[in-house]
Copies of this chain bind each other. A is one copy, B any other.
Amino acid sequence: MSKVRFDISLSLDGFMAGPDQSVENPIGAGGMALFEWAFPLAAFRALQGRRGGEVNASTPVVEERFANAGAYILGRNMFGGGPGPWPEEPPWNGWWGDDPPYHAPVFVLTHHAREPLPMLGGTSFTFVTGGIEPALEQARVAAGDGDVVIGGGAATIRQYLAAGNVDELNVSLVPILIGRGERLFEDLPDLRLEQVRVVEAPGVTHVRYRVA
Contacts and interface: CB of A to CB of B under 8 A. Distances in A.
A183 B12 contact: no
Contacts of A159: none
A195 B185 contact: no
Contacts of A203: 194-195
A13 B183 contact: yes
Contacts of A194: 175, 203
Contacts of A191: 177
Interface of A: 12-14, 171, 173, 175-177, 179, 183, 185-186, 188-189, 191, 193-195, 197-198, 200, 203-205, 207, 209
A185 B177 contact: yes
B13 A186 contact: yes
Task: Pick from A12, A14, A186, A204 the residue with the most CB of B within 10 Å.
Answer: A12
Given A12-B209, A173-B205, 11 more contacts: A12-B185, A13-B14, A13-B183, A13-B186, A175-B194, A177-B185, A177-B188, A179-B186, A195-B204, A195-B205, A198-B198
